[in-house]
Chains A and B, each alone.
Chain A
């Protein structure tokens, strides 16, 4: 707490110019302390500015402190500026391309950027594939991660809970390109019979009707959704686990004392308490799924045909389209078209993440 007195000293520093000069030059704490002693002989005995009741201690505002503080605050502000800069620079690069665009950016599905003078790009089809893969992934991952989070916090033996949690976290450590490779070369072919069965028996539902690529190739929304689900499992699990762990002991013990079975205890105490956290964890997972690039870039089979709003469509998501076009980044306008798509992705993930964080922050405040 000596720090606050130092600050007090600095307040009166400006009033006694002589002492201030002394302390400004001192870096050593001990000397700073000596200079601040109220009874220093050379101190002015009666200055009009020195009020009687105030502590006459001298200010120590060391240059080192000022520089370090400035660096720390600057770094904090830098992060805020960085986010703004991402939005700004993407916008700057996207605007010329959007001006030159000959079709509606949000209403068209055509993507033809080979000729910079006749740019045609619209994200409609990309948006469908992005949303379909992400929502399918979320639908598959949500129940499973709820189970895992409950298992790790309330079911697994205490000693094994931590290693088990580590195993789930390992899933997050596997690079997405490896998931992509595995998805298209190993998992995809295994899923083909399942996909064919679904398409044969549930084909009357539009979602399971044949899409715009052949089911046998496995490069469709279905395979991509399953791989994405595996990739977002650890994200959803990690956050839900943290919230479930914070369930008040009193609630749990109360439920058990009233004769609840373990499941009834979980259903009546843990889940209501952690619901908001679980929802926001799922939204974080959704944000992750929307932005996932390379896995989908390897898995999805490319096609220019319009999607048939089926799980067996191919095509590209916004992110994987940008990755596919990385070879075309040779002139400002073409690059701008992809950057415009990236801007949409940035805005989308920003909104989803901000919403998720707000839910979790509100929960923390009330808990």
Chain B
């Protein structure tokens, strides 16, 4: 009878779960390694770029003059002066871009989510926003040159730079607004309508305030992106080595233009100014990114 029991314990067929063959195992390991390596390949240039900027740009920005003086009247080899004219220009141009782009961008977002959902115009607009996202920055500079400077006859100024950044900024604001409006709970809208509140007031007083923190975050991130744009500034802006407080008139420097100007300066001072400007630009962009994160953490939509 012992044989019967052993028969019972022996499976009729081979084991259902067979070990994974060596070839498959090796393939799997190779794939895993390659995929992880790909990520490292992306990290290396990021660290390398940031390291180069810090290594070469930290020393110039440590002097107090860097933040309080312009390069007015300094010769190419004078290792003094600072970038405050360019920092001012960068910030002011970015802010005027924000002032112009936010109303338009938010209204387009409102249209796409609250009014146009599903209509043909809305679909076409969404497509065009995608196209606008892909418009090269140099083309936006050329467009502003063609319309604002060549046809309307205005001069090169900080404001013209803002106008060309506007084209790059608007799609960012639209995307963010759209995304944020979509996650506003519908119950809020319905509750408001049920109280007899008109649609426009519902949007202005209920929907937009709920989505506000997200929109602000998106705007800050977008600003951080457009601040470093150089191409449009080369076409419609003009570098000035002294401070110009008026964004609407005359040459106004910004950090990318300063870098471009000093890149051609072969002296040590030029090297320091270029990399110092790069470092300042990275710092300002980091500051804007940080602010964006803080704002979104402090006031996220509670579900």
B132 engages A293 (CB within 8 Å): no
A261 engages B121 (CB within 8 Å): no
**Complex: how many Å from CA A283 to CA B107?**
29
B27 engages A332 (CB within 8 Å): no
B139 engages A171 (CB within 8 Å): no
* B249 contacts A by Cβ under 8 Å: no
Interface residues of B in 230-275 (CB under 8 A from A): 230-231, 234-235, 256, 259-260, 263, 274-275
Contact with A along B194-225 (1 / 0, CB 8 A): 11111111011000000000000000000011
Chain B residues near A284: list those with CB within 8 A. Answer: 134
* A186 contacts B by Cβ under 8 Å: yes
Chain B residues near A152: list those with CB within 8 A. Answer: 39
- CB nearest to A317 among chain B residues: B138
* A170 contacts B by Cβ under 8 Å: yes
Given contacts A75-B108, A293-B138, A335-B150, are A80 and B194 in contact (CB under 8 A)? no
* A204 contacts B by Cβ under 8 Å: no
- CB nearest to A66 among chain B residues: B200
Chain B residues near A10: list those with CB within 8 A. Answer: none
Q: Which of A147, A287, A353 contacts B34 (CB 8 A)?
A: A147
B46 engages A174 (CB within 8 Å): yes
**Complex: how many Å from CA A291 to CA B263?**
22
Chain A residues near B227: list those with CB within 8 A. Answer: 175
A186 engages B228 (CB within 8 Å): no
**Complex: how many Å from CA A47 to CA B15?**
88
* A93 contacts B by Cβ under 8 Å: yes
Chain B residues near A230: list those with CB within 8 A. Answer: 42, 45
* B167 contacts A by Cβ under 8 Å: yes
Interface residues of B in 132-179 (CB under 8 A from A): 132-140, 142-143, 145-147, 150-151, 167, 170, 174
A261 engages B25 (CB within 8 Å): yes
Interface residues of A in 319-358 (CB under 8 A from B): 319, 322-323, 326, 329, 332, 335, 338-339, 342, 345-346, 349-350, 352-354, 357
**Can you list 25 A-B pairs, Cβ within 8 angstroms, ordered by A?**
A3-B193, A64-B200, A69-B200, A73-B111, A80-B128, A82-B132, A82-B167, A89-B143, A150-B38, A167-B46, A174-B46, A177-B259, A178-B49, A181-B274, A237-B42, A263-B31, A291-B134, A291-B139, A294-B234, A294-B260, A323-B231, A342-B139, A345-B138, A352-B134, A353-B130
* B98 contacts A by Cβ under 8 Å: no
B259 engages A181 (CB within 8 Å): yes
* A62 contacts B by Cβ under 8 Å: yes
Interface size on B, residues (CB 8 A): 93
Chain B residues near A332: list those with CB within 8 A. Answer: 150
B31 engages A76 (CB within 8 Å): no
- CB nearest to A339 among chain B residues: B142
* B114 contacts A by Cβ under 8 Å: yes
Q: Which of A83, A175, A263 contacts B285 (CB 8 A)?
A: A175
A326 engages B235 (CB within 8 Å): yes
Chain B residues near A82: list those with CB within 8 A. Answer: 128, 132, 167
A75 engages B146 (CB within 8 Å): no
**Complex: how many Å from CA A315 to CA B159?**
32
Interface residues of A in 23-44 (CB under 8 A from B): 27, 29-30, 32-33
A294 engages B104 (CB within 8 Å): no
A92 engages B135 (CB within 8 Å): no
Chain B residues near A259: list those with CB within 8 A. Answer: 17, 20
Chain A residues near B13: list those with CB within 8 A. Answer: none
A76 engages B108 (CB within 8 Å): yes
Chain A residues near B53: list those with CB within 8 A. Answer: 178, 182
**Complex: how many Å from CA A171 to CA B48?**
11
Max chain A Cβ within 10 angstroms of own Cβ: one of B39, B129, B204: B39
Max chain B Cβ within 10 angstroms of own Cβ: one of A29, A167, A292, A338: A29
**Complex: how many Å from CA A293 to CA B150?**
22
A-side residues, CB < 8 A to B, are 1-3, 27, 29-30, 32-33, 60, 62, 64-65, 67-69, 71-80, 82-83, 85-86, 89-90, 92-93, 143-148, 150-152, 155-156, 164, 167-168, 170-179, 181-182, 185-187, 230, 233-234, 237, 259, 261-264, 266, 284, 287-288, 290-294, 297-298, 319, 322-323, 326, 329, 332, 335, 338-339, 342, 345-346, 349-350, 352-354, 357
Chain B residues near A77: list those with CB within 8 A. Answer: 121, 125
Q: Which of A72, A144, A171, A233 contacts B110 (CB 8 A)?
A: A72
Given contacts A76-B111, A176-B228, A339-B142, are A171 and B42 in contact (CB under 8 A)? yes
Chain B residues near A172: list those with CB within 8 A. Answer: 225
Q: How far, in Å, is A94 (CB) from chain B's closest CB? A: 9
B196 engages A181 (CB within 8 Å): no
- CB nearest to A266 among chain B residues: B31
* B3 contacts A by Cβ under 8 Å: no
Chain B residues near A30: list those with CB within 8 A. Answer: 196
- CB nearest to B27 among chain A residues: A263
Q: Which of A80, A176, A293, A346 contacts B135 (CB 8 A)?
A: A346
Chain A residues near B133: list those with CB within 8 A. Answer: 353
B139 engages A174 (CB within 8 Å): no
